[in-house]
Amino acid sequence: MLLLCIAPPILVNVSPDVVVRNEGDDVDMFCEARATPAATLTWLKDGRELASFGHVAVAGNHVVLRGVERSDAGVYSCAFKNVAGTVSHLIKLVIQGMFTRPLSTPFLLVLRDMHYITFYLTFICLVMCVCA
């Protein structure tokens, strides 16, 4: 009698659900699963298959990003699949940097004052041009 053992993938070690890094930092996201027979692993970013390119390296259970950029932010997922089933894990990558900081009050006041100055100069020009 031949006995086959088949088991769907089960996650055993994964990156946290949310990973926060500063712009320029390195990131190492990982997923590990057990399955019988062995499962194939696919990495996705925002629903699209992810492959190594530039500063992004897809190496088995790891995705390594060197010097993260704003465009690297998104939802990454690892999906393990075999004949018995599929399991996946989502990792949201948040990149902090200058672009995430709110504008300061003095900067907003300068913008407001520049708007008034621009309006005033435009009005003066129109009056002078029409009256001349």
To 5 degrees, how large is the angle CA 116–CA 118–CA 124? Answer: 100
Asked if residue 2 belongs to a domain, the reply is: no
Tell me: the pLDDT tens digits for 12-33?
Answer: 999 999 999 999 999 999 999 9
Q: Is the domain of 39 the same as that of 86?
A: yes
Contact 104, 78 (CB under 8 A): no
Sequence-distant (6+) residues with CB within 8 A of 6 are 36, 37, 82, 83, 84
How far is Cα 132 from Cα 118, in angstroms, rounded to an integer? 21
Phi, psi of 34 (to 5 degrees): -115, 140
Q: Is the domain of 45 the same as that of 76?
A: yes
Q: Is the domain of 13 the same as that of 44?
A: yes
Q: How many domains does the chain have?
A: 2
Q: Is the domain of 43 the same as that of 65?
A: yes
Asked if residue 93 belongs to a domain, the reply is: yes
Asked if residue 31 belongs to a domain, the reply is: yes
Nearest CA to 69 among 27, 132, 9, 115?
Answer: 27
Q: Is the domain of 50 the same as that of 106?
A: no
Cβ atoms < 10 Å from Cβ of 69? 13
Percent of the chain past pLDDT 90, that is, above it, reads 69
What is this structure's pTM?
0.71
Q: Is the domain of 86 the same as that of 119?
A: no
Asked if residue 20 belongs to a domain, the reply is: yes
Q: Which residues of the chain have pLDDT under 70?
A: 1-3, 98-132
Q: Is the domain of 116 the same as that of 78?
A: no
Show the domain range for 44: 7-98
How far is Cα 25 from Cα 64, in angstroms, rounded to an integer? 11
